[in-house]
Structure 1
């Protein structure tokens, strides 16, 4: 439905820089704002979503190369056995859409991705550091299942000129889906933490700088239930990252994307114990390795935000060093490394 993550970066690079024997296609919804330009540029290389060619491409594919798991090549849930079996059998080069070093991978809701439990034919997964590789080992993957290249999307990760927003992006809380989808969002901890942050920034005179970035699955409901704050709510995390000079989260991996762009990272862990109880597992990012300052209440949070502003958003050296252990690459050559691997293994 969109063309703004690693898959389109790899496709662009292959089309523009590589001579290959393979036939490479990118599937995109005609309603996407990127569709006209990409269709004009690549012609038949762009396949309209849900077209006959889309279905044929699934049965013709030797590999899937995607930022998402294989089922997303068509739909999130699929009940046509023959088609589902085909999707599950095609080898996937998993580009990831974030560094897997935030929420715990050993929580029960993540078991579907564990190597010994998932039904996908994951041939290789992109990682950004040996530290991140440790998270895959917890899920029974071997080193040979991983390619250390960095995320392709990071090669294009930048802040826009004049970026000055302070983004707050609490992570997805799957256990509150039922309440949110039945219009009982005000009963959730997700809603309460948003209100708490908004009020704190309002009292500090920083509300005009604040940008609330709800998780995609919750954004519509947040927007509907906070009409008085619509002007500070973003329903597009990709766009929010471009304008945010400070990025605050509890356990969203988007903070690593923000830091790569040049944003000042802050971890807000007032609800840390509650989140760990709900995850039923301990997150890998902690007090020792977090690549940014930690706030345990809103008073500390506002103090750190003001410190970042006063110091022109310069990230301290200790946090830079910790960040490089989580994301080892800063040369904007991730896409080339991925493509070199694809060529070397005759995938393209």
Structure 2
């Protein structure tokens, strides 16, 4: 049997490495070795490499003391290899079980055979059934069009005899010299490819903390591409095939990234030199813009090139703007509204994406309404509401929405402003956030199970706009700094929304709220406020929720003494059914301010929602309905605290347990008295009822 050496460079990919390694060791073709080349990884990743190598004698670790790049690591692997075939695999990707077997069975006398590549954001379970192989022949240009050495089985003798190497001079595009050398020496017009021999290429969900090469800075990638292009053009002056291949990729790259070369003028000499070396007759057709820019670059007329590119981009932006209402509004925001004078005493407020009038933005607004009436106030809503004061109400995503965001000096929001709305110079953004974190946040999450696989990258861009971030306790401050990568000013006064929980007239306010909601004065109130599940979505931003409480049974057992208020997370868009129990269960999911519901509640039932941190300010009993604790904790998110040890109430798994705990609520309070006190001191110690005043005095300076 022919033996395969799989070469896998590793650089700080501990979170993916085990999965990647096991996908090789579990191949149906097992006559192989895996060369794990540690390219200067940090200690945790190095230890994992050693641990994996102890599990299977076919895993060969090789350590490099400093990070020298994927090109160096692969070249070293080829140099150390001594078997029949070479196969390259990245340490964050993985293989279905039959990939290597399919490639080996069909390579025959060819020097190389390729498979197909599938982009994936999460692990996809593979079937054990061996697929039927579909073999096709591809031209050399088609075969190497992705300029990647991945998912190719190559004869080692072929690589060594022709001294084919990866570039060690660049971080990105190190494969291009290897690919071009392969094309030059293969001496064939076509190469075989097996469609079913697939390779799962992971699109990493964190392009910030530890990006893949394709997620590195665009200017860095441009410099590396042009550097390699110029080197290869000099080395293959006499090969028409290679020159055409390189020129075609230069033009494709230029069309895709042309905006880089006028924004970062340091790259202009490089792109100009590349254009001068390119063919005057590229295979791809040139549009009039590219022809003109190409000519200016060839003549090193950078000023003219910049003017031409700016004109092209403007015309394309106008064309895009005229293709739809939202695109037109975005265009006006960027090109017109943000160039208008900034209104120094104008504040835009938004709470939960315009869904209600609530939370800390509401408290800040009402304080300023009373104490700073000379400001102009704008509230963003999805539909018009009755609110105190003279604030202008603006419909979210209307033309006025874009105008006021562009011209108001201050933004106050508890969620994120859309990615396409850049914050202009002079804007001040107060991010109030919306809770003390239990569930792991953004850059503390390994995997993203929500509807948007680009969540981390988008969050990072959006959060760079924040000038101030409110925190309720030291625990939150520490997490926010790390999980949000936040390094600006933290306002550590507690949450403005919780001020009412410490008010001297909170009992009077509670009575008014209860009367407004027509809740019987003689009934005690249970508040059920669960969170959403990351994996239960049916469209981006829209999440399902299946009510796991048996409301009818609760009514039968508790209805004489209690009513229950249902308050779902604002992400949960589904209707909650209360037919048959309307006199017991009140669906208040769309009620504006949950803090008012805290005031009238005698008991809180929640799960993994941050509401229990706020509710703890009242020192009233809390029950945790955690029927899916293991899944939520171990798969979807992970927690910052040990719920079984730290939360100030019992973890319950069924409606029957909930009913029993409520029926014996005084005993539950006695049982958790000491734990509640410790919890209160840790998470509510900053809450004194003055957070709103302190936040306003810090941010809004005349």
Band of TM-score, shorter chain: 0.7 to 0.9
Q: Which residue of 1 aligns with 2:413?
A: 66
Residues 250, 33 of structure 1: CA spacing in aligned structure 2 closer, same or farther, 3 A cutoff? Answer: same
Q: CA deviation at 1:267?
A: 1.8
Residue by residue over 1:83-125, the C-alpha shift from the partner in whole angstroms, topping out at 9 and shown as x without a partner, is: x2347994421112222x2222133249846898333411221
CA contact (8 A) 2:632 2:638 kept: no
Change in Cα spacing, 1:199 to 1:228, as seen in structure 2 (3 Å) is closer
Q: Which residue of 1 aligns with 2:389?
A: 38
- What's the counterpart of residue 16 of structure 1? 370
Report the alpha carbon displacement of residue 53 of structure 1 after superposing the two structures with TM: 5.0
Shift of 1:34: 2.3
* Contact 1:9 1:152 (8 Å CA) reproduced: yes
Question: Cα RMSD between the aligned structures?
Answer: 3.8
1:198 paired to 2:551: yes
How many aligned residue pairs are there? 317
Where 2:685 maps in the other structure, the secondary structure is coil
Equivalent residues of 1:276, 1:283 under 8 A apart: no
Three-state SS of the structure 2 residue aligned to 1:218 is: coil
Give matches, 1:122-271, under 5 Å. Answer: 122-142=466-486, 144-157=488-501, 158=506, 160-161=510-511, 162=521, 164-178=524-538, 190-191=545-546, 194-198=547-551, 201-202=554-555, 204-206=557-559, 209-218=563-572, 220-223=574-577, 226-231=578-583, 232-234=585-587, 235-236=589-590, 238=594, 240-271=597-628
Contact 2:379 2:392 in 1 (8 A): yes
- In 2, the alpha carbon distance for the partners of 1:270 and 1:244 equals 23
The Cα of 1:290 is off from its aligned counterpart by 1.3
Q: Which region of structure 1 is more displaced relative to structure 2, 145-154 or 101-110?
A: 101-110
* TM-score normalised according to structure 1 size: 0.74
Within 5 Å, give how 1:91-106 maps onto structure 2.
Answer: 91-99=428-436, 101-105=437-441, 106=444
Contact map agreement 1:246 1:313 (CA 8 A) in 2:
no
Cα distance between partner residues in 1 of 2:622 and 2:635: 24
Higher helix share: 1
> Based on CA coordinates, which of the two structures has the bigger radius of gyration?
2
1:197 shift after superposition: 4.1
The normalised TM-score by structure 2 is 0.40
* 1:321 equivalenced with 2:669 (yes/no): no
2:659 is the counterpart of 1:302: yes
Deviation for aligned residue 1:305: 1.8
State the partner residue of 1:42.
none
1:154 counterpart SS class: helix
Distance 1:199 1:88, change over 3 A: farther
Q: Is the 8 A contact 1:11 1:26 kept in 2?
A: no
Any unmatched runs of 5+ in structure 2? 1-353, 512-520
Could you tell me how far apart the structure 1 residues matched to 2:491 and 2:681 are?
17
Mapped partners of 1:134, 1:25: distance in 2: 32
Contact 1:66 1:93 in 2 (8 A): yes
Q: In structure 1, what is the Cα distance between the partners aligned to 2:607 and 2:407?
A: 42
Measure the CA separation in 2 of the matches of 1:325 and 1:278: 27
CA distance in structure 2 between the partners assigned to 1:287 and 1:89 by the alignment: 47
Relative to structure 1, is the Cα distance of residues 56 and 134 closer, same or farther in structure 2, using a 3 angstrom cutoff?
A: same
CA shift for structure 1 position 172: 0.5
Question: Which of the two has greater strand per residue?
Answer: 2
Secondary structure in structure 2 of the residue aligned to 1:178: strand
Which residue matches 2:694?
337
Q: Is the 8 A contact 1:38 1:46 kept in 2?
A: no
In structure 1, what is the Cα distance between the partners aligned to 2:615 and 2:679? 15
Q: Distance in 1 between matches of 2:624 and 2:684?
A: 17
